[in-house]
Structure 1
C-alpha cells in the first residue's frame, strides 16, 4: 500500500511492527479529513474559512482513528477529559496526535509556533515530549481562593497522570487550506519549549508519502476555490474555539486561555487561516 516508501529506524522504534502500515494509512486519513472539510466549505458557500477549519479540527481525529483502527498493534484510547479518541501503540507506549502546523505555503514547519500563551491543557499533552519547566503559578492565581486553586490543579494533575501512561507522543504534522489543498504531511517528535511564547522545536521529523489515488482530485478541486485573505502559520489560531487538541477538562478558576478566544491578530486572521 505504501509502494517504495522505506520505513526508517526511527519509525520502527516509535511504532514497532505497525510502522509500515501506519506510514501508508496516516497520509490517507489526513487527505480524507481535508476533503471532508473542503466539501463542507463549498456546501456552506462561505467567504471565510471558518467552516473548513472547524470541520477539519474534528475530522482529523475521527478519520485518523478510523484509518488505523484495524492496523495490528494499534489500539484506540480516550483519556478522561478528552473529546476525541487517540490511536496508541502499546508495544512502544506511543500516542499519535494529528496537528496542522501551517496554512500558507510560504510558511516553514520549522518556524511554526503554537498560539500563545499555551493553555494548561495543551501543555499537559505536549509535555509528554517536553523538557520544559513544570507548570507554575501565575499572577491570575493570586485572585483565586485556596480551595478552588487546589481543586483546579488536582484536575490537571489527573489529566497529566493519564496522558503520561502513553509515555511518548508522536505528532502527525501537516499543512493545508481550501485553495492549496494538503501538503507537508509527516510525523515526528514535537517539544513545547516556551508556553508563554508558543515556541516549539521538532527534534525529529520525517516526511510521509505525498501521492495517493484520491489526492489528485482533492488538490484540483481545492485549486479551483477562491479564498481571500491572509493565512496564518500558527496552529489553528485563526478561529475563536480552539479545541486544545480535544482536551476539555479545565479547572473552574481558570480563565478561558487567550489561545481560545482572541489575540492581537485574531480580527485580521479570523476565517482565513484555517
Structure 2
C-alpha cells in the first residue's frame, strides 16, 4: 500500500512500520475483548466492551514501547494511558459496530465527549476551518484538564485512529488522520482521513479497495505521569475462541 503525503509528513520513513503496529494493536485489543467475553459466559456484551475500551490504549503502548521516541502519559483523572510517538498523540476510538456507518460521519464516543477528549482536540488538534467557541464557552470543566496537559510540547499533534468492529465479525476496518471536533455530540470534520490496511490476522477480511483519502481537525484535557513499558500489564497469552453464533446479541 502506497504511503500518502500526509502519512509521510506525519511519521516519516517509518510509516509502514507504525501503520502495521497500529493494526496489530487493534487486533490484540479485539482478541483480548473476545477472550474476556468467552470467559464471562454471558449473552450480554459488557465484558467485550469494557475490555476493548481499556486494551486498545494498552495495546498501542505495548506495540511501540521499544521505540526510542515514544512517551506514555496518563492524564490525571483518566483511567487510560496515551501514546505520544514522535510528537504525535495517538487516540483510538470505535466509530461503528458495522459497515453501515461511514467514517466520514464518525462521532468520537456514543455521548458527549469527555473533558479529556475536548481538551485534546482544543490543544493538539488541527486549526478549525470555521470559527468555534472557545473551550471555556463549550466546556468550562475541560479548562483545568487542558492546562494540565502543559507538560506536553505545544507542537504535539493529535492523530485519531478510528475503527469499526464487533464481537461477531471482528475488526472490520481502521482509519487514521486528523480532524476537528465540531460540537458537544462528538461530530468530527476530517482534515485528512485514510484507511489503515488490515491483514486477515488483524481480524478483517481482504477488501478490494486498498485505500481512500479524504480532504475535509481541534480542542483537548489533567497531570501527566510517564510510565515505563515494564509497568504496563502484559496482555493475555491465550488465543481467544471465536464466539458461537447466538451467544451474543450485539457488538
1:7-46 equivalence runs, <5 A: 7-46=3-42
After the TM superposition, list the runs of 4 or more consecutive aligned residues in structure 1 that deviate by more than 6 angstroms: 216-220
Change over 3 Å in CA distance of 1:54–1:80 after alignment to 2: same
Unmatched tracts of structure 2, length 5 or more: 206-238
- Matching residue of 1:226: 246
1:27-176 equivalence runs, <5 A: 27-90=23-86, 93-114=87-108, 115-127=110-122, 128-129=124-125, 131=128, 132-137=132-137, 155-162=144-151, 165=154, 167-176=156-165
1:73 is displaced (CA, Å) by 3.8
Contact 1:179–1:227 under 8 Å retained in 2:
no
Contact 1:124–1:159 under 8 Å retained in 2:
no
| TM-score, length basis structure 1 | 0.67
Asked if 1:179 is matched to 2:168, the reply is: yes
| TM-score, length basis structure 2 | 0.72
Unmatched tracts of structure 1, length 5 or more: 142-148, 230-271
1:159 is displaced (CA, Å) by 2.7
- Matching residue of 1:200: 188
Query: Counterparts of 2:247 and 2:186 in 1: how far apart (Å)?
Result: 27
Q: How many residues were matched structurally? A: 212
Change over 3 Å in CA distance of 1:227–1:101 after alignment to 2: farther
